[in-house]
Structure 1
Amino acid sequence: MKNSILSTFILFIFCSLHSHAKTKVDTIYAADLQPIGRTLINNQHNLALITSGAHFGFSFKGNECAIYVSIADAGGHNYLQYELDGIYQKRIRVDGNLKEPIIIKTNSIGSHRIWIYKATEATSGALLFSKVAGEGVKSLSAPKLPLIEFIGNSITCGAAADDSEIPCGTGDYQDHHNAYMAYGPRVARALNVNFILSSVSGIGVYRTWNRDSPSMPLVYENANFQEKDSLKWDFKTYQPKIISIALGTNDMSNGDGSARAPFDTVRFVNDYVKFVQLVKSKYPKAQIALLSSPMIKGNSREILQRCLSRIKATADTTYPKDRPVATFFFEPMEAHGCSGHPSVADHQILAEELKPFFAGLLKQ
């Protein structure tokens, strides 16, 4: 009888310990995550991923982890996307009324590494992360690699590129964003460098695609890329090796049919030169690279290329001791994404064009 009771007690203890080991969960809170991109810790102590492609990583053991994420707009939605053990997985919709964590499962038990990315741009609202939970979860820091900052418009954002879940012409603007698959992050992954995206849909050097403002020079210093944003970005956060600027598509746009003045080459060049000076004031050691637009064709393409050449010449004269400004002119493209934008597949073509160019700059 005593032996039976003792055996039952030992079995109970063993099962309890085994159950506890199976359910052991560790937690990383927002302040201990190590993001890259324009991010901040807000008043609620959440990590806000602001810009396209802003990301953070962590490792865990077992076959699942929990992501505690929300957005400020209770009636809205946004998207994150993730990479698991070096392989891209998918986008995940984050609804404003989300109450439970997002559970990410794996096909195998063991050690895993995840990188979480913001799929959408700053104007779509921030993704707010309070914590990450999982067995043995640990925060990952970005590898110590050169950094490229990609400044641009909707193309650089990866906007209107992905219709794999929601067809073009339906849904909301953010439903077709895919920052991970945009040309900048693709180039960065191919060349083994870090990246940040500083991009806003519709924006230009001196006007937007259908209005006179805001322009990139007006919003670049603001953390959220909003014209009236009082929160300024701390440019000491990163020291990019290369600053890639791809602007001009929207300055040259015919807009949405409303009255619009013809493209002003003089103002474009002057304002662009001032913007280059602003960027160089933030990052005096960075290599500046000016990119044209794959969306602009014919005579307009020639005009934009001549403007960029003049901007380069002026900047090189102004900063004779610095590395010369580099220029890259895309081949014209027939885009296959939504509303005339490059698709996910088109972005791969753009990235392949750009890889030798940036590889050369990284060697300097």
Structure 2
Amino acid sequence: MSTARANNGKADTLAANKLNPYGRYYYNSEKELELISSAVHFGFNFKGTVCKIYLSLKDKEAHNYLQYELDGVYQKRIRVEANSTSPIIITAPKEGNHKIWIYKCTEATSGDILISKITGDHVKSIKVKKTPLIEFIGNSITCGAAADTSETPCGKGDYIDHHNAYMAYGPRLARALGANYMLSSVSGIGVYRNWNSDAPTMPQVYENIDLQYNNPVKWDFKTYSPKVVSIALGTNDFSNGDGIKPRKPFDPEKFIATYVNFVNLVKSKYPKARIALLSSPMVKLAYGKILEDCITAVKNQINAEYPGKKPVEIFFFPPMEAHGCGGHPSVEDHAIMAQQAAHFFKMLMK
């Protein structure tokens, strides 16, 4: 049992190192749980009506967001202030036994959220059910960035104020299929170049625990064994940037060659996983056709390299008029994307 009840009637305490996180995470020297990737999550039970989560941020001048489910129902986002010394208090509407799932709302580059402990009556850690896993690799769309305007309108606040990883297409899709999920995604990132820079790209950061170039700590790919790895990259390779920094025309040959190498890297980490290559609903018209042709070329080249193995498959999203911020899909748009791709992923999961 991971809780200890005090004789003086105080709430039980569940230490962070007794939790069972799912996604990219790290336990630091203080035995705090560092939530890293988008939608990384953990669960616990408690009794009564109140539990408290003690947490902090590395960046003392920043803020961040969690979000949570209570008894299987999504509730809301929770703003975490770096300079706050008070715990996050979650209240249930009535007495009884309750189940909480806590999710990191924001992406890895938004900074880690550090969990030190949870208190409550009969608080006890729970594990994610053992179901097939889908890993979603991608950019800001996969992060659920710029999707949620329910609290902060577009053009107001900071970039992370519109993040909602829980409502992104990947987690929605996985939940609909009864699958587990993890997100390895970074806003603005591409295959061979990014939104407004040449590096670091996804192939350069994927192996690092926080998906950032300057971190020597590597992610342990033996932690999970995905059934399916979904790769949705290319939107930012096609970007024209900010219009100020010089930007060369899109290079199909470089894109395809780099993408093939990245798929081989993913296959080296997960030899048994099915690989799915997704297009972008944000890349349209002539560019959309070029992206689809490039993805098809990547699929054909990989499948030729691995005869007799389960083939790489592709899915092309229909073009979409986005309703989120800055040309991104909104929470409602993500629901449509999840529905569009559901049958494709269902077939891959068989």
Q: TM-score range by the shorter chain?
A: over 0.9
Who is 2:21 aligned against? 35
Who is 1:79 aligned against? 65
Aligned mate of 2:330, from 325, 343, 351: 343
Who is 1:13 aligned against? none
* Alignment partners' CA distance in 1, 2:217 and 2:191: 21
Offset at residue 24 of structure 1 (A): 4.0
Who is 1:352 aligned against? 339
Who is 1:304 aligned against? 291
CA displacement 1:193-251 (0-9 Å, x = unmatched): 10000000000000100111110000000001111110000000000000000000000
Q: What is the identity percentage for the equivalent residue pairs of Structure 1 and Structure 2? A: 62
CA displacement 1:255-298 (0-9 Å, x = unmatched): 11021000000000000000000000000000000000000110
* Alignment partners' CA distance in 2, 1:279 and 1:73: 31
* Alignment partners' CA distance in 2, 1:298 and 1:72: 43
Aligned mate of 1:126, from 112, 115, 131: 112
CA displacement 1:44-95 (0-9 Å, x = unmatched): 2100010000000000000010001110111110000000000000000000
* Alignment partners' CA distance in 2, 1:145 and 1:21: 39
Partner amino acid for 1:97? N
Residue 321 (structure 2) pairs with residue 361 (structure 1) = no
Partner amino acid for 1:74? K
Residue 148 (structure 2) pairs with residue 162 (structure 1) = yes
Aligned mate of 2:134, from 124, 145, 148: 148
* Alignment partners' CA distance in 2, 1:322 and 1:232: 28
TM-score (norm 2): 0.97
Aligned mate of 1:245, from 217, 231, 234: 231
Q: Secondary structure at the match of 1:109?
A: coil
Who is 1:216 aligned against? 202
Offset at residue 22 of structure 1 (A): 10
Partner amino acid for 1:68? Y
CA displacement 1:312-347 (0-9 Å, x = unmatched): 000001111220001000000000001110000000
Who is 1:95 aligned against? 81
TM-score (norm 1): 0.93
Q: Secondary structure at the match of 1:75?
A: coil
Greater CA drift, 224-233 or 239-248: 224-233
Partner amino acid for 2:196? N
Structure with bigger gyration radius: 1
Q: Secondary structure at the match of 2:84?
A: coil
Q: Secondary structure at the match of 1:347?
A: helix
Report how many residues are paired: 344
Greater CA drift, 152-161 or 43-52: 43-52
Residue 112 (structure 2) pairs with residue 112 (structure 1) = no
Aligned mate of 1:55, from 12, 33, 41: 41
Partner amino acid for 2:263? V
Aligned mate of 1:264, from 238, 251, 259: 251
* Alignment partners' CA distance in 1, 2:103 and 2:273: 25
Mapping for residues 8-47 of structure 1, pairs under 5 Å? 23-47=9-33
Q: Secondary structure at the match of 1:272?
A: helix
Q: Secondary structure at the match of 2:96?
A: strand
CA displacement 1:171-201 (0-9 Å, x = unmatched): 1111000000000000011000100000000
CA displacement 1:21-50 (0-9 Å, x = unmatched): 995411110110000000010122100010
* Alignment partners' CA distance in 2, 1:226 and 1:239: 22
Who is 2:3 aligned against? none
* Alignment partners' CA distance in 2, 1:298 and 1:98: 48
Partner amino acid for 1:280? K
Structure 1 gap segments, 5+ residues each: 1-19
Aligned mate of 1:326, from 292, 296, 313: 313
* Alignment partners' CA distance in 2, 1:222 and 1:271: 18
Offset at residue 362 of structure 1 (A): 0.6
